[in-house]
Structure 1
Amino acid sequence: MSFKKLHPLLKESLENEGFETSNAFQKKVLPILKGGSDAYVIAPKGSGKTTALIIATIHKLKAAAFEDSPRAIIVVNDKQSALDLKDEFERFTNTTDLRVYALYDEYDIEKQKTEVYYGQDIVIASPARLSKLYFLNGIHLGEVQLFAIEDADYLGRNNAYNHILRLSESIHKSQFVIISDTMNSKIKNYQNAFMSNAQVIK
């Protein structure tokens, strides 16, 4: 798909970063994500699936901050993954006022509660810390429009699978997206829960 169909501020950021058009895999993924469908996005590393998620997220949020509650939650493996993905998002949000926040275990949870309370649009979080903050009433999930799991191959470790399953039960009317290198048994099991009508894009 052409980037001309994206929000003008997002299009400006893409042009500033030297992106002129989507690659072949992104041409398959972006229309489905932009259309609001739940999806498994399965492809090897380097295929552009993370960039597609970033583009679709910013476009979905209309490239603008809104009120205080997060509207996009992206679950990642750990602190480093959260910080890396935050950096990637900020490459494409620098022409917007979208607020991107990394939520991870190795940080004071009371400070995180305060920082989230003052308003975030996109929260990139490790599963355990997101779950803990939610059950401490430290983050409101009632306005979430997109709930994504990035690089989901880690889900067999550290109870992450169950954290996400419990969190999904608290989120309604959201688009769910799982990004992974392979369709492993853990993420396939989510078809019995919140991914029952998801498209599989390979």
Structure 2
Amino acid sequence: MINELIGTVLQILIFALIPFLVYLFQKKTAKGFFDDIGLKKSTKRANFLAIFACLLFAAPPLILTLVSNDFKAIMIDPNSLTGKIREMGMGVQTLFILLLMALFKTSLAEEILFRGFLAKRLIRMAGFVKGNIIQAVLFGMIHTVLFAFTTNNPVFLTVIFIIPAIGAYVSVYLNERIANGSIIPGWISHGLANVLAYSFVGFLL
């Protein structure tokens, strides 16, 4: 448990280091960094929509896992994150690790780097639609590459590209258009979708 906590803190710091160094180089000061990457107050409307959005993103892969033995085998593979959680068994320690990884190690770290840093800069360079599409495609591709080490199933890899990519696009829309540039809605949506997926595969499947 301590190792996971340390690993989570280190991953968040590493994912925040690149944005921080770029900001420091450009601005010559650390002042305003958190506001620049969107770690600031969101709006109630954006947060509510983020909760609804997480259900849309979590549902398709979970449904496919239920109806496809191939998908199920991939999700419970011992080398996958969900497979490792499944092997731990139900317990307080497992639940703590699940929440730590779902809400902070993956979602918060990724939201800081991809939505707080990359998306905002791409939008400034290419405009909202193009910049958002580029970051969404990159986010989907990274998930596909990571899962390619576990499976070569083309249908699964396609789904694991499309769902995160759509999620990334919608998150940026919520962040930039409704939440005044805050990345909190994206974090809510991403984190809750992870919690649902990890819990379903780990404890219910």
| TM-score bracket for the superposition, by shorter chain length | under 0.3
With structure 2 as the length reference, what TM-score do the two structures score? Answer: 0.25
More strand by share: 1
Report which of the two structures shows the higher radius of gyration computed on alpha carbons.
2
- Which of structures 1 and 2 has the larger relative contact order (alpha carbons within 8 angstroms, sep 6+)? 2
Query: Normalising by the residue count of structure 1, what TM-score does the alignment of the two structures yield?
Result: 0.26
Greater helix proportion? 2
